[in-house]
Amino acid sequence: MKVLRSIGEWRRFRAALTGGLGFVPTLGGLHAGHAALIQRAAADNDLAVVSLFLNPTQFNDPRDLASYPASLEDDLAYAEAQGAHAVLAPDREAIYVDGFRFKVEESPLSRELCGAHRPGHFSGVLTVVLKLLNLVKPDRAYFGEKDYQQLELIRGMAQAFFIDSEIVACPTVRDADGLALSSRNARLDAAGRALAPRLREALACPGPDGQVADALSRLGFDVDYVATRFGRRLAAASIGKGEGRVRLIDNIPLAMRPEATHHDSGP
Ligand code: PAF
């Protein structure tokens, strides 16, 4: 597996590549959810490329950035074991050569749901994804459905800016008890880890979104939202306090809810 640390090195490497390229952008902190994306990229394409870039502009909370569990050495070994052919791992100055003067701004979706609770988050995500797609020039780029609002925004951006890469959505990977895999799960203490799968369970409960939010609050979650959008029920909620606080997001298709009729709460 080739590891490229500078933009110049990457560009020379990319120019020499032939064949279909599948791309998995990541923040690092790789887990089995990323493994599924990398394996899919390797199966669908001649080459699978992974980026490891802990993107500071999408972290509205500096403590969240500082505590993000990513280790370059571990991530490189993990990416290679999943079949990655190359890893792009640039530093912050190389990606933000403009000092983040130029940004992708979207509205209204990026200000709703997670965006309402994480100001600037989606501008950071869309900006870095556009930079990475322009550098990597993949035939296909793979994103998990766990971050469903992110996926919708990236699809919209790709369409709006005539990006040639196909945006491929991949199903959420879960632990045996239903908890959606996330790098942040590593920060849950024993009590938080025991509570966390109840988020997924609550999403599948009958009744309106408000009722589900109330039920989660009673269980001990600090709920940002429960909402029905994109033909899915989505939720974001935190467990714990202070330094130990961990924010979880999840969503399931409406078809997995027991009711017969559903109404989206937004466009
Ligand atoms: O979903 C993520 O891991 C990140 O938001 C992404 C898409 C790699 C952009 O930094």
List domains and CATH numbers for the chain.
2-170 (3.40.50.620), 183-256 (3.30.1300.10)
Q: Indicate the pLDDT class of residue 266, thresholds 50, 70 and 90.
A: very low
What pLDDT, in 10s, does the model give residues 164-218?
999 999 999 999 999 999 999 999 999 999 999 999 999 999 999 999 999 999 9
Helix H or strand E segment including 234: strand 232-239
pTM of the model: 0.94
Q: Which of 129, 130, 131, 170 to mutate to test the pocket of ligand 1 (most atoms within 8 A of CB)?
A: 129
What is the DSSP secondary-structure string of 4-47?
E-SHHHHHHHHHT--S-EEEEEE-S---HHHHHHHHHHHHHSSE
Site residues for ligand 1, CB cut-off 6 Å: 25-27, 55, 58, 125, 128-129, 147, 150
Ligand 1 atom nearest residue 125's Cα: 9
What pLDDT, in 10s, does the model give residues 4-59?
999 999 999 999 999 999 999 999 999 999 999 999 999 999 999 999 999 999 99
Tokens of 46: 């001649």
Query: Do 82 and 52 meet the contact criterion of CB atoms below 8 Å apart?
Result: no
Q: Are strands 86-88 and 222-229 parallel, antiparallel or unpaired?
A: unpaired
Q: Coil, strand or helix: which one is 237?
A: strand
Average pLDDT, the chain: 95
| pLDDT score of 130 | 98
Catalytic residues: 34
| pLDDT score of 258 | 62
